[in-house]
Amino acid sequence: MSEQADPSEEDLDELIAQKRPDSDDEIRIVFLGNPESGKSVLAALLKHRLVSSWIPMTNGKMRAAVVRGHETVNEIIGLLRRGRFPLTTLPTDFPKLEVDLEDLRGRASTLRLFMQDMSGEVYRGLFVKESASHKIMLHRMLTGGAEHVVFATKYVIVVDCSVKDRWIEDSASIATLVGNLRYASNRVHGGGNQKMSTRIAIVFTKADRLLPGEREKPADALAREYPDLLNSLERYCEKDSYRFFRMYVSSKEETDDEYEARVRRERAESRKRFKKDYDAQNAQNQKNIEIEKENVFTQAKQEGKSDDDARKAAYAKAERLQKKFDQKFWSTHKSGSPEKKTWIVKQPLDYPGLEYDSLISWLLNTDGVWK
C-alpha cells in the first residue's frame, strides 16, 4: 500500500475552517491515553468533584450547570459506588460532557466546559501505530472523528501506574503524541512553529496499584521514571504549560472468595436472563408449533389415517420442532467463561479529592478562584 501524500496547505486550511467550533468561549478538554488507563473514570470524578466540592469552595463566585453527558457520568459514579469499574470505552464511542460555568466575580460571564474521552484504540491508531507526517496526522484527526483533539484548549494525558512495567515500551509514543499535539494546536490556534502553550496535565492514574514502596511517590517523581516524557515536554511545550498529577480510586484485587462469589452471581444472573429470553421466544415458538400440528393433523386425515394416528403424527412433529428450537436457542446463548480476577473499588468514591481540586484549577486556569 502506498503511503498517503501530504495534503496541500490550502486543503488543510479549508478543512480546519470547516471543522472549527463556532464559539471561542469554551474550554475544550480532551483525555488521551492507552486502553483501560482510567480516562473515563478520571473524567467522571472530575465532574463529580467539580460539582460537589470545587464549585462550593468558590463561595458563590462560580456556578455550574451540566448541559450534556450527565447520564453517562452518573452511570460511572453509580458503578464506583457499587464497587465496580466501567467497561472500556468502545472505539466508536466518544463520551462527551458539557458544563456551563458561570463566573460571578464582577463579569457575570458564562464559559462552556467540554470534557471528552477518547477510546484507547483510537488513540493508538492516531498516535502510535505508524509513522506519518504531522500534516497527515492532522488530516486524519479532522476526517476521522477526532476533531475534538485538534481544537482542544487543554490536554489530559493519562499514564497507567498499574502497568508500570510497560512504560519503557510505551515511551516512544509519548514523543510522537506530544509532537503531534504541538503541531495541531499551533496550527489551529496560531502558534506557528513555536513551543506549544496549550496547558497539558499529565495524570498518573491507579497510583494505589504501584508496588509497595512506590505508592507514595509524588507525581513529579513518577514523571522522572517514564522514559522520554520530560524530554518530550521540554522539547515541544513552554516551560509552565504542563504539570503532573497523581490520582487513584481506592481499589483492591479480588480475593479467592470474592472471585468465586462473583462467578456464582454472574452465572445465576446469566441463567435468569437466559430463562427470561427463552420464555419470551418459546411463547412465539409454541404458537408456530400449534399451527404446524394442525397442518400435520389435517394432512394425515386427508391421507386416510385415523384420528389417533393423525394426532401421533402431529405430536411427533411438535416434538421435533421443540427440540430444534431448544438446540438453536441454547447454542446461541452459551455462558462465557468467567473473567479472571479483577480489581474492585474498595471504598466507594474514596479518591484524593484535593488533587482533583488542583487539577480542575489547573485546567480552568483559575488557581485560587475561591480565595
Q: How many domains does the chain have?
A: 2
pLDDT tens for residues 299-308?
999 999 999 9
Long-range own/partner contacts, residues 288-297 (CB < 8 A, 24 or more apart): 288/321, 289/318, 289/321, 289/322, 292/317, 292/318, 292/321, 293/317, 293/318
Does the pLDDT at position 289 exceed 60? Answer: yes
Q: What is the CATH number of the domain that holds 105?
A: 3.40.50.300
Note whether 280 and 244 are same-domain residues: no
Note whether 192 and 327 are same-domain residues: no
Note whether 321 and 233 are same-domain residues: no
Q: Which band of pLDDT confidence, cut at 50, 70 and 90, is reported for residue 366?
A: low
Report the pLDDT value the prediction gives residue 3, as an integer from 0 to 100: 55
Report the pLDDT value the prediction gives residue 127, as an integer from 0 to 100: 65
Residue 190 belongs to a domain:
yes
| Top-ranked range on mean pLDDT: pick from 29-43, 63-77, 233-247, 330-344 | 233-247
Does the pLDDT at position 129 exceed 60? Answer: no
Q: Which band of pLDDT confidence, cut at 50, 70 and 90, is reported for residue 164?
A: very high
Note whether 265 and 166 are same-domain residues: no
> CB of 355 within 8 A of CB of 205?
no
Report the pLDDT value the prediction gives residue 176, as an integer from 0 to 100: 82
Does the pLDDT at position 367 exceed 80? Answer: no
Residue 371 belongs to a domain:
no
Percent of the chain at pLDDT exceeding 70: 87
pTM: 0.76
Does the pLDDT at position 370 exceed 50? Answer: no
Note whether 198 and 79 are same-domain residues: yes
Provide the sign of the torsion angle of the four alpha carbons 335, 341, 346, 349, taken in this order.
negative
Residue 270 belongs to a domain:
yes
pLDDT tens for residues 217-244?
999 999 999 888 888 999 999 989 999 9
Report the pLDDT value the prediction gives residue 121, as an integer from 0 to 100: 66
Residue 338 belongs to a domain:
no
- In 34-78 the beta strands, taken as DSSP E runs, fall at 62-68
Does the pLDDT at position 321 exceed 60? Answer: yes
Report the pLDDT value the prediction gives residue 2, as an integer from 0 to 100: 43
Report the pLDDT value the prediction gives residue 264, as an integer from 0 to 100: 86
From residue 329, alpha-carbon distances to 37, 57, 292, 326 in Å are: 37, 57, 19, 5
Note whether 260 and 248 are same-domain residues: no
Report the pLDDT value the prediction gives residue 222, as an integer from 0 to 100: 94
* Average pLDDT value for the chain: 83
Note whether 112 and 208 are same-domain residues: yes
Residue 112, domain extent: 9-252+347-364
Backbone torsion region of residue 145, taken as left when φ is above 0, otherwise alpha when ψ lies between -120 and 50, otherwise beta: left
Give the Cα separation of 54 and 84 in Å (integer).
25
